[in-house]
């Protein structure tokens, strides 16, 4: 089993690579090689199988052809320009998120081996005029370019799979929290930083009210679900291969209370509450009440409580 | 008001052009020029304003740049590779229906004038796992490449409009019946030919049962709705500019009875009932119960009864 992670240098890609190294196998088969590809050289991971790290610009078909080897069995396509960045730079967002996805799909198709491909979409496909809650059969009416690009990716994964070119499956990631490391340019960044920074004694700003509801998943459970994503027999998908990954709806207030329950009252006092006009328009569409069911029926899971999310961050990302 | 119809040589494009010639105005403004563009030289129409006919391959950006003049006010994008053809030739379908649409949108954006653009999508976006009936907020789960390509077009029209590049709006055309002229390669072809041919004394085959339900609109009402499409104030769209054009659900049996009511019993006797395996897979997904509401609220209409559809064909397409 040869595995390729495109976006293997990102937070989720790195955690997935380390988890695959722990497991040593995927979909019941020993992993015999792992390639991590990203726009910048991805950090290597220790593993009981060969790991190679390569750079790739997915908007360049020749670059994609080089990293997708003819013997690949499993492709994770995690690479993307995130929401606020794609909104600021329309052409760059399309170049990576739409044309880049097409390049990967076309290369996978050209192999003629029908590789399995796990595509990560986003809950940014939800919103607009569609009434909440959003279930598996709600219409998708994205209100930002990122959501549009991800939904186009879903549609292509469906069509390329239906035509027999790939064995694709796609999962809309909930907002990942608590996300370790430096802030990225996602408008949802505060949904991690208001925990990550205070848990390290640093102030952070929350631009929405305590009752702002949203849909979350921990990095640890996200990675478990991505492992599961590669194992699902394609017959189980029926006529739809793209769906929302399980997560849970919490308000900001509930999450902060969970942090206090796990880590005491000090971190919450470091949160400031200033509106941020530059992301207000995006966030208006993000009061998301999402009820995924299909992915749960296929064996994916949400976190039990946000206290788990806080604990996972302390255990996985703040060793010592 | 300068108008461009891309796909102006097709059945709907030609009827729309003739209707615009009758009206002399669109959206309350006198038409000062009409360009009909198509892959083959479109037939000219008589009009009280200048009409030019040009060839264009929308999959070629340079060709698109030539036909979309900088002073265009209203663009109708009707050109497409139809369902069965796009299903047979995957690359050709994407080249025209996806990349061609992108070329038109990118050229319209490059003008910097935010032209109004009417995009015709298709009810082929419906189907798959989504329960019927299909309303304005049902999920879209296309089961053929044509539906995928049209839905991608919708998403791009939404996003380019939201970003202020165009004033776009899109309408999923019901199956048009009774369609005049020669059969095209649409899998829905029989839904016109079983009326068109028998009404002219010629046999035609119906590959589905009398109780097969589907969603229809006459060419005459479709054109009226396309005129209306250009007049809708964009503020009325809210956060969703693409929707299903009104039509009505009838069974094949009801439609044949309507033909008999208008034209007597002879035509129905010329219909044969042989299954066609090559389109059976497509038609399985087409037992469509669609309930559009938003477009009706914006002033578009369905036919009152299928007897009207038969009469319009006799009046408009079989003169003498």
pLDDT digits (tens, 9 = 90+) for A234-250: 999 999 999 999 999 99
The complex scores an ipTM of 0.96
Q: Mean pLDDT lowest for which of A178-182, A249-253, B52-56?
A: A178-182
Classify residue A13: in a domain, yes or no.
yes
Instruction: Using a CB–CB cutoff of 8 Å, tell me whether B164 touches chain A.
Output: no
Q: How far is A152 from chain B (nearest CA, A)?
A: 6
Domain count across chain B: 1
Classify residue A33: in a domain, yes or no.
yes
> Does position B293 have pLDDT exceeding 70, yes or no?
yes
pLDDT at B320: 64
Classify residue A44: in a domain, yes or no.
yes
Tell me the pLDDT tens digit for each residue of B72-128. Answer: 999 999 999 988 899 999 999 999 999 999 999 999 999 999 999 999 999 999 999
> Does position B68 have pLDDT exceeding 70, yes or no?
yes
Classify residue A284: in a domain, yes or no.
no
Interchain CB distance below 8 Å, B140 and A137: no
pLDDT at A181: 87
Classify residue A209: in a domain, yes or no.
no
Tell me the pLDDT tens digit for each residue of A87-101. Answer: 999 999 999 999 999
> Does position A320 have pLDDT exceeding 70, yes or no?
no
Classify residue A309: in a domain, yes or no.
no
Name the residue facing A129 among B127, B159, B240 (closest C-beta).
B240
Q: Which three-class secondary structure state does DSSP give residue A179?
A: coil
pLDDT at A86: 93
Instruction: Using a CB–CB cutoff of 8 Å, tell me whether A155 touches chain B.
Output: yes
What integer is the mean pLDDT of B31-51? 97
Q: How much of chain A exceeds pLDDT 70, in percent?
A: 99
pLDDT at A217: 98
Task: Supply the range of the domain harboring residue A147.
Answer: 2-174+218-246+290-303
Tell me which of B89, B122, B138, B148 to substitute to probe the interface with A (most A C-beta atoms closer than 10 Å): B148
Q: Mean pLDDT lowest for which of A189-203, A238-252, B253-267, B268-282?
A: B268-282
Classify residue A317: in a domain, yes or no.
no
Interchain CB distance below 8 Å, B155 and A137: no
Instruction: Using a CB–CB cutoff of 8 Å, tell me whether B236 touches chain A.
Output: no
Per the prediction, chain B carries an average pLDDT of 95
Instruction: Using a CB–CB cutoff of 8 Å, tell me whether B163 touches chain A.
Output: yes
For residue B146, indicate whether it is catalytic. yes
Classify residue B310: in a domain, yes or no.
no
Interchain CB distance below 8 Å, B142 and A155: yes
Interchain CB distance below 8 Å, B240 and A138: no
pLDDT at A72: 98
> Which CATH number covers residue B144?
3.40.50.720
Instruction: Using a CB–CB cutoff of 8 Å, tell me whether A131 touches chain B.
Output: yes
Interchain CB distance below 8 Å, A142 and B131: no
Q: How much of chain B exceeds pLDDT 90, in percent?
A: 91
Classify residue A315 by its DSSP letter.
I
Name the residue facing B159 among A129, A145, A158 (closest C-beta).
A145
Nearest-CA residue of chain A relative to B165? A90
Interchain CB distance below 8 Å, B128 and A240: yes
Please list every residue in chain A whose beta carbon sits closer than 8 Å to the beta carbon of residue B238.
129
């Amino acid at each position: 089993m040869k595995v390729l992670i495109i976006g293997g240098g990102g937070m989720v890609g790195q955690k997935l690579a380390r988890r695959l190294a722990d497991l040593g196998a995927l979909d019941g088969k020993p992993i015999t090689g792992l390639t991590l590809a990203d726009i910048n050289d991805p950090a290597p991971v220790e593993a009981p199988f060969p790991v190679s790290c390569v750079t790739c610009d997915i908007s360049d078909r020749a670059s994609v052809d080089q990293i997708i080897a003819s013997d690949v069995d499993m492709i994770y396509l995690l690479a993307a320009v995130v929401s606020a960045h794609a909104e600021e730079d329309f052409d760059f967002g399309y170049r990576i998120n739409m044309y880049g996805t097409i390049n990967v799909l076309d290369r996978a198709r050209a192999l003629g081996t029908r590789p399995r491909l796990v595509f990560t979409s986003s809950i940014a496909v939800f919103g607009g005029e569609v009434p909440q809650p959003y279930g598996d059969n709600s219409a998708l009416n994205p209100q930002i370019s990122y959501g549009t690009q991800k939904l186009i990716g879903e549609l292509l994964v469906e069509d390329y799979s239906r035509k027999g070119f790939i064995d694709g499956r796609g999962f809309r990631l909930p907002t990942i929290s608590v996300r370790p490391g430096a802030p990225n340019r996602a408008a949802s960044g505060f949904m991690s930083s208001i925990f990550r920074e205070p848990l390290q004694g640093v102030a952070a700003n929350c631009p929405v009210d305590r009752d702002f509801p949203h849909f979350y998943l921990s990095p640890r459970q996200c990675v478990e679900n991505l492992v599961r994503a590669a194992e699902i027999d394609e017959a189980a998908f029926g006529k739809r291969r793209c769906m929302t990954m399980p997560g849970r709806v919490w308000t900001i207030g509930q999450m902060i209370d969970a942090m206090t329950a796990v880590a005491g009252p000090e971190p919450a006092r470091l949160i400031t509450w200033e509106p941020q006009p530059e992301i207000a328009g995006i966030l208006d569409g993000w009061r998301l009440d999402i009820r995924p069911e299909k992915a749960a029926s296929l064996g994916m899971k949400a976190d039990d409580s946000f206290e788990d999310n806080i604990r996972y961050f302390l255990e996985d990302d703040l060793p010592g």
